[in-house]
Amino acid sequence: MPFDPEKQYDLYEILRKAEAGDRDAMLEAVNLMAVEGLVEDDTAGDIREKYVRYLTILADQGCSDPDGQTEARIMLGEVYAKGRYVPRDGQKALQLYEQAAADGAHVAWECIGDMYYLGQGVPQNYKKAHTYYTKAGRSLKHGNHMLSTWYRLGELYRQGLGVKQNLDKALECYSKALKDEEDGFPDDFDMPCLLRYSQLVLQGVMEIDDKDAMKDIWQTLEEIKAYYKAHPHELAETNMSAAELDQLVADARKQWEELPEKGTAYDFDVATPMSLEEFDEKIRNTIWNLEYKYEEFLVAGIINPREDKISAVQTYVKADFSYHVEIIRMINPAKKGWQCFTPQKSLDMEETISLFKSVLVDGKTPDLTQWKDITYEAHHGRT
């Protein structure tokens, strides 16, 4: 059975079984040791000896849990990569990580990337770090490992380490990391990533002309500054000095103060219109998708169960913020990415389709005086 961190375990009973050769008990034991911090706190060395011995057996022989062997290989790889409780052995760590990756654990690519990025058990090699982080980025979907992968890829592109310097690519990597953090997977890289993301935005890598968006950046940096003031050792890990952070906050505030209040004039070029046939197909697919999700919306309480299906779907279209964003996101690829707007007022089904057609088929520019610029939110994945 997979390890359940919420379950109450009897460590002594688990160790008794593990010492008798029960490999399932060994897997429970090493997970319990890691979660409870027993390995770090072990001064006598008995727990650490068992931890390494059990992982070695599991990495070689596995257990009834189909993922147990792979999990053990990753955990033991970290032990050898960092030289924790055993002499550091980079080649042994690489072998274990590669075995785990071959088993389908793509997080192992990130672990190898970390070794080369940090020079951990192997000579530091940013080019190889980029190769393995890129493999991980293509394979991982979300989680703490995903955030750190994209953050460090961003650092490589920002500084031109192992790759040609590319600030646009760095910003894209930081954006992906922050999107993952907002999906509920924060970790130690979120604030450093916000710092570097904001730094590139303030340098003009991505143009932001929305006053509220710039205020959001400034206030976020103020909060980060306050945190690092209380934890200066963590700021040192970002390779940014306190003076540089102070300047970054000041620049954000200055740019916010200098931006005009939202006006009514926009230079807004419409993208290449699609054909009427393409438009009709997209509308059909969109409505079909909403109708397909009717039961899901009903269970979630998004729609009123007293309405018939079509009325309920129309009600959802009126209220669905992301649907309006999707429409406007398709209109104009600006110099640094899509320019995104959403209506100030809710649109019903007929109004929505009419707007969609006028923009995408007829190539007309909507009256943006009635629209809210959400480009910044869209780049952050907050739509």
pLDDT in tens, the chain (383 residues): 444 545 556 788 899 999 999 999 999 999 988 877 888 777 777 888 999 999 999 999 999 999 999 999 999 999 999 998 899 999 999 999 999 999 988 889 999 999 999 999 999 999 999 999 999 888 765 444 577 888 999 999 999 999 999 999 999 998 888 875 544 333 456 888 889 999 999 999 988 877 888 888 998 899 899 989 988 898 888 889 999 999 999 999 999 988 876 543 333 334 445 566 665 666 556 555 555 555 555 555 554 555 555 555 554 444 443 344 344 443 343 434 444 555 566 555 566 666 666 655 666 655 656 666 655 554 444 44
Q: Is residue 150, in this structure, part of any structural domain at all?
A: no
- Max CA separation in the chain (angstroms): 77
Q: Is residue 15, in this structure, part of any structural domain at all?
A: no
Counted domains in the chain: 1
* Residue-number span of the structural domain to which 281 is assigned: 276-379
Q: Is residue 296, in this structure, part of any structural domain at all?
A: yes
| Average model confidence (pLDDT) across the chain | 76
Could you tell me the end-to-end alpha-carbon distance of the chain, in angstroms, rounded to an integer?
Answer: 38
Q: Is residue 215, in this structure, part of any structural domain at all?
A: no
Q: Is the pTM here over 0.85, yes or no?
A: no
Structure tokens at 21: 């050769």
Q: Is residue 330, in this structure, part of any structural domain at all?
A: yes
130 close to 156: Cβ distance less than 8 angstroms = yes
Taking the CA of residue 161 as centre, how many other CA atoms within 13 Å lie in the half-sphere pointing to its CB?
Answer: 18
Structure tokens at 347: 């649109």
Q: Is residue 368, in this structure, part of any structural domain at all?
A: yes
Q: Is residue 337, in this structure, part of any structural domain at all?
A: yes
Q: Is residue 359, in this structure, part of any structural domain at all?
A: yes
H or E element in which residue 371 lies: strand 371-373
